[in-house]
Amino acid sequence: MRTLAALSFSLFALTSAALAQVQVDTAWVRGTVEGQKATGAFMDLKAERNLKLLSAASPAAKLVEIHAMEMKDGVMKMYAIESLSLPAGKTVRLAPGGFHIMLIDLKQALKNGDSVPITLTLEDEAKKTQTIEVKAEVRGLGMPMQHEKHGKKH
């Protein structure tokens, strides 16, 4: 019986490792002030194989969307996108001024040092989906934004 339990645990660990094929680094959310109803979430995503980020969800907001930004006719425009490709082995940066996750209709103000749970839903080339739980640190409005230092957009 012990061997069966150990084998079951090993298979679970292997299956979990096979599914968790996205590395998430430097996840953070921009802090808000009272009354502010939306903010952005940012992070670096690196997939081991080709995946798509299909959606995101968070108990901190009623609506969560994947957004892109682009300069068009001299005006910066932001808009929701259906999905975001995560090419195998390449880091996709969700950062201010580029791709990001919008938290809309916030349930409360997000203060420096808080943590915001975000669930990412991913899809592989076989159309199988998986979710990843991310804890994003809230960074105050006056704090330096790590990703903005890099000056690189994806």
Query: Closest Cα to residue 136, out of 68, 46, 45?
Result: 45
Residue 152 lies in a domain: no
CB 100 within 8 A of CB 41: yes
Residue 67 lies in a domain: yes
Residue 14: pLDDT band with limits 50, 70, 90: very low
- Taking the C-alpha atoms of residue 49 and residue 80, their distance in angstroms, rounded to an integer, is 24
pLDDT at residue 149, rounded to an integer: 38
- Taking the C-alpha atoms of residue 139 and residue 30, their distance in angstroms, rounded to an integer, is 5
Residue 7 lies in a domain: no
pLDDT at residue 140, rounded to an integer: 77
Q: Where are the beta strands (DSSP E) in 107-147?
A: 115-124, 129-139
Residue 103 lies in a domain: yes
Q: What CATH number should be reported for the domain holding residue 127?
A: 2.60.40.1890
- How many domains, the chain? 1
Residue 11 lies in a domain: no
pLDDT digits (tens, 9 = 90+) for 101-124: 999 999 999 999 999 999 999 999
Q: Give the Cβ contact number of residue 47 at 10 Å.
A: 21
Listed in sequence order, the residues at least 6 apart from 72 whose beta carbon sits closer than 8 Å to its beta carbon are none
pLDDT digits (tens, 9 = 90+) for 46-94: 999 999 999 999 999 999 999 999 888 999 999 999 999 999 999 999 9
The domain in which residue 55 lies consists of: 22-143
pLDDT at residue 77, rounded to an integer: 92
Q: Give the Cβ contact number of residue 122 at 10 Å.
A: 22
- For residue 66, give both structure tokens: 């994947």
Residue 26 has pLDDT above 50, yes or no: yes
What is the pTM (predicted TM-score) of this model? 0.78
Residue 71 lies in a domain: yes
Query: Closest Cα to residue 43, out of 112, 128, 117, 108?
Result: 117
